[in-house]
Amino acid sequence: MTSTPKAIKESTSVCNKTINRRNKFLLKQIQESSGKSTAATGVQTRKIIQSLDEDTRRDILNEANIDSIEIGPQQMVAMEVDLGIPWEKLKCMSRYKINHHPCLKY
């Protein structure tokens, strides 16, 4: 059993040193619950990010300088016809809203 400390102040009002210490603690907790491999940690982190609402996710990705795109249904049909991209790969692009994903490899 481990105890999780309760934050006295929110992360928005503390110094970077405290935020870094909290991040290390959270990473340790994620590794203990999901496994120490990079893949396991990535899967767990992705699930945490996906559990947030869309606006919060978008803000997090923007702050981390991670580009994302949104593909609408009309654009998907145009891409399928013009570029010859299979429908399954277009669905994958739309689902993850990114342009570099393992399922997009040709």
Sign of the C-alpha dihedral computed for residues 67, 73, 74 and 76 taken in this order: positive
pLDDT tens digits along 14-60: 999 999 999 899 888 888 888 888 888 888 888 888 899 988 988 88
Q: How confident is the model at residue 69 (pLDDT cuts 50, 70, 90)?
A: confident
pTM: 0.51
**Residue 7 in this model has a pLDDT that exceeds 70:** yes
